[in-house]
Structure 1
Amino acid sequence: MTLHLDPADPAFARDPHAFYAAVRELGPATRVTLANGTDAWLVTGYHQARAVLTDPRLSNVPAPQTARHTSAAPSTESPPQARSAQRSVLERHMLNADADEHRRLRRLAAPAFTPRRVDAVAARIGHLADTVIGGLTAKLRQKADADLVDDFAFPLPVLVISDILGVPEADRLDLRAWTYRVGSPAATLPSGQAARAWQSLHGYFTHLIARKRRHPGDDLLSLLTHDRTPQAPDDGELLAMAFLLLFAGYETTMNLLASATLLLLTHSEELLAARTAGDPGWSAVIEETLRHASPLEGATWRRTTEPVDLGGTVIPAGASVLAVLAAANRDPRVFAAPHTFRPRRYAPGNRTAPAHLAFGHGPHVCLGARLARLEAGIALPRLFAALPSLRLATAPAVLPWRPGLLVRGPLTLPVRLA
């Protein structure tokens, strides 16, 4: 039996878990045919996904001009010839590197994401959250509906990561449009739009880095631009790092905030419990949202450098392999009631719930995980304290979701005041 998967299908995007459950039952790894006619191996079990994410025989380095599924924002519909020179440069980042090269690139960005540096921006995040929520509140009072993605979940994390990187606030809408296009299956976009987005991102970061060379600040891009150590990134690596940190820095948190709000608005008892318990309750909500509605649907694509026996299933050399984080986080052999939103499983002191894989696992685990948790922990209580009568303005079943296999979250989230 051959399984077929179209990541651009809106029905699949809305609820992929029935498909993933069927795949999981077929074995530790299952070969599927994607809508563009190519084959890939999906790994949907929790323990198998952890193994894939730490196995050195699965490389993160894309095969030269042949891998259709290996990029920071893998588009399962893009043929190899669509990989422009600009895209190739922007893909030279740490997620597409192995071993020593990966460690070198990760060390360059790591100082900006240490616990001390992240915790130091808490006050700034609180100020930005209050500003964003104030704008959302004013909009809701002036008109019936607002879009919680556009008016809350997107602007807050993009403002935070822009502060860290040194990206002007005025550019955020263009950057959102471009990163959305490169992170979506090409079949969901007008012809040529993804290629133009790669070109726009390359041009934007080229000019931004040139500006940092002339007028440095205390942001991460300025520091990297003026790094004179032997490990310093070259110009191409600078461009790739700027793209990756921006994309990963807001996409994950945007989807976390949107999905958490949607879950709380559809689970009133859990919302009440979080508001009653205070910080421990909100922390549990965040961890359970990360598990139940993983903001990253899949890890970056990997390529087998030799045959790999994964629990009795042999994946051949040269195969594209995807550890599906969203599926691993709902593995019924690991998580009780996996499809139920149950924050108390992550209540403080509860040691029975395994750690979820929402931020990956192993050497490529997300560098910004602490920052994403901090933003959500600050923003969500403020949102529901400011807007206690917030309600969905449409049925959850008809909400559109991000297409593809990379990121997962609602595209729009109409809300109103009761």
Structure 2
Amino acid sequence: MLDPADPAFVRDPYPYYARLRAQGPAARVALVNGTHAWLVTGYETTRAVLADPRFSNVPPQGAGRPRPDSPAQRARACLARHMLNSDAPDHTRLRRLTSAAFAPRRVDALRPRIEELTGGLVQELAARLAEEGSADLVNAFAFPLPVLVIGEVLGVPEADRADLRDWTYRVGSPANALEQGAVDDAWLRLHRYFTELIADKRSSPGDDLFSALVHDAADGGLDDAELLAMAFLLLFAGYETTMNLLASASLLLLTHRRELAAARRTPGGWATVVEEALRHSSPLEGTTWRRTTEEVELAPGTVIPAGASVLAVLAAANRDPAYFPDPDAFRPGRYSSGTEGTRAAPHAAFGHGPHFCVGSRLARMEAEIALPLLFDKLPDLVLTTSPEEIPYRPGLLVRGPRVLPVTIAPRRRCR
């Protein structure tokens, strides 16, 4: 039975996924909530499922554990109407409305501002380390940078970022991992917040994506429910993925000093670090749930019935040894053709097919800017605890360190 909140699984889910992968292209698993699902863990099969329209993103009525009607459940249902939970043609329409904001030219134009924001955060982190001796790299760096960036893109006030982080953390976690009522309360607060944000953008629009979406809604682009869902999705996806990428990449570099040194001296080294971090420690553990619209034979002897719940596990696909030799090792050189010969297969960290992450370019750019600035300014940064003791997010959706305690190592004096 799979319990996504089990501490042993949360700490290291990869052996479990490897066992499933050895069973075949998909395995039927009993979940702790009393339901069953098919988990897809191989690289090739994951990409095939994500591109196959027979695997629908539209949640069926009554999916998952039965929940009684309540204000929280209605808020959850409203905010879940985003484009990740839709198929064509609805998905095509919704994606088109947001793709323009993440076009390469507009993303690249953010580079100077991201460099400015990163520089300020690194200075604040350095000052805190000098004054207090230690800091949490997630709270002080990995979290605020993507929130500041997506806040500028969407027009979300900086003063609201701490509350939004708390609420989105709760809705992205299994209910049994939190105190009773915490998840329902978060859905209610998010619904209320975004309702007020829409009203504010209508009365006082700014030069941001969400103001543009609200304006488009007045011309028939999105209805109110779609606006609410779009706001939730863009905020959640806009910082959760990048926060986990920055935290996981920092942890990998703090525990792999040789790779850190190579990134500093090798042209293009930081780009390979980001790609390998995305593969090795996928910030999205799994995709949103799919449902088969008909019986699907994935391979001879593996038939998934119609109406089955299916989860493509990106973190497992990215460690498929058939495509990534020595998959559990952190080796940025595999993404540099001049270092290890043949360049590695493209990872699946941003998904595949029609639902490929629209913000992937922005996430990569943030990491390629932030990581060298962090380690150039603070070259003696070290962990204050064993890597095995660092807690991770529970669940099957997102993966990353919850905290990352660091300090500055004292320099040895030459004798």
* Cα distance in 2 between the residues matched to 1:128 and 1:182: 27
Is 1:105 equivalent to 2:102 in the alignment?
Answer: no
Q: Corresponding residue for 1:321?
A: 310
Following superposition of structure 1 onto structure 2, how do residues 263-282 of structure 1 map, counting pairs within 5 Å?
263-278=252-267, 280-282=268-270
Equivalent in 299, 307, 321 of residue 311 of structure 1: 299
> Cα gap change, 1:49/1:80 in structure 2, threshold over 3 Å: closer, same or farther?
farther
Q: Corresponding residue for 2:47?
A: 50
* Cα distance in 2 between the residues matched to 1:101 and 1:228: 15
* Cα distance in 2 between the residues matched to 1:79 and 1:125: 43
Q: Corresponding residue for 1:415?
A: 406
Q: Corresponding residue for 1:173?
A: 162
Unaligned 5+ segments in structure 1 are 69-77
> Cα gap change, 1:191/1:225 in structure 2, threshold over 3 Å: closer, same or farther?
same
Residue deviations 1:214-261, cap 9 Å, x none?
000010110011116866010110010000000000000000000000
SS of residue in 1 equivalent to 2:311:
strand
Q: Corresponding residue for 2:331?
A: 342
* Cα distance in 1 between the residues matched to 2:176 and 2:76: 18
Tell me, yes or no, if the aligned pair for 1:43 and 1:324 is still in contact at 8 Å: yes
* Cα distance in 2 between the residues matched to 1:354 and 1:150: 33
Equivalent in 65, 68, 77 of residue 81 of structure 1: 68
Q: Corresponding residue for 2:412?
A: none
Give 1:364's aligned amino acid. Answer: H
Is 1:24 equivalent to 2:21 in the alignment?
Answer: yes
Residue deviations 1:273-313, cap 9 Å, x none?
001114x0000000000000000000110001111111120
Q: Corresponding residue for 1:137?
A: 126
Q: Corresponding residue for 2:287?
A: 299
* Cα distance in 2 between the residues matched to 1:348 and 1:110: 31
* Cα distance in 2 between the residues matched to 1:334 and 1:379: 29
What is the CA distance between 1:131 and its match in structure 2? 1.0
* Cα distance in 1 between the residues matched to 2:223 and 2:200: 16
Tell me, yes or no, if the aligned pair for 1:157 and 1:249 is still in contact at 8 Å: yes
Residue deviations 1:37-77, cap 9 Å, x none?
1101000000000111011111000112x111xxxxxxxxx
The number of residues matched between the two structures is 404
Q: Corresponding residue for 1:71?
A: none
What is the CA distance between 1:79 and its match in structure 2? 3.8
Q: Corresponding residue for 1:67?
A: 63
* Cα distance in 2 between the residues matched to 1:348 and 1:333: 18
What is the CA distance between 1:132 and its match in structure 2? 0.9
Equivalent in 359, 376, 385 of residue 376 of structure 2: 385
Q: Corresponding residue for 1:374?
A: 365
Give 2:89's aligned amino acid. Answer: D
TM-score in terms of structure 1 length: 0.95
Residue deviations 1:332-384, cap 9 Å, x none?
11111111100000115564311000000000000000000000000000000
* Cα distance in 2 between the residues matched to 1:230 and 1:310: 43
* Cα distance in 2 between the residues matched to 1:409 and 1:293: 8
* Cα distance in 2 between the residues matched to 1:81 and 1:344: 51
Tell me, yes or no, if the aligned pair for 1:163 and 1:219 is still in contact at 8 Å: yes
* Cα distance in 2 between the residues matched to 1:43 and 1:80: 27
Give 1:7's aligned amino acid. Answer: P
Following superposition of structure 1 onto structure 2, how do residues 205-284 of structure 1 map, counting pairs within 5 Å?
205-227=194-216, 232-278=221-267, 280-284=268-272
Residue deviations 1:158-201, cap 9 Å, x none?
00000000000000000000000000000011111101100000
* Cα distance in 2 between the residues matched to 1:275 and 1:375: 17
Q: Corresponding residue for 1:360?
A: 351
Give 2:98's aligned amino acid. Answer: A
What is the CA distance between 1:81 and its match in structure 2? 3.2
Q: Corresponding residue for 1:11?
A: 8
Q: Corresponding residue for 1:164?
A: 153
Give 2:100's aligned amino acid. Answer: P
* Cα distance in 2 between the residues matched to 1:167 and 1:265: 32
Unaligned 5+ segments in structure 2 are 410-415
Tell me, yes or no, if the aligned pair for 2:284 and 2:398 is still in contact at 8 Å: yes
Q: Corresponding residue for 2:114?
A: 125
Give 1:295's aligned amino acid. Answer: P
SS of residue in 1 equivalent to 2:39:
strand
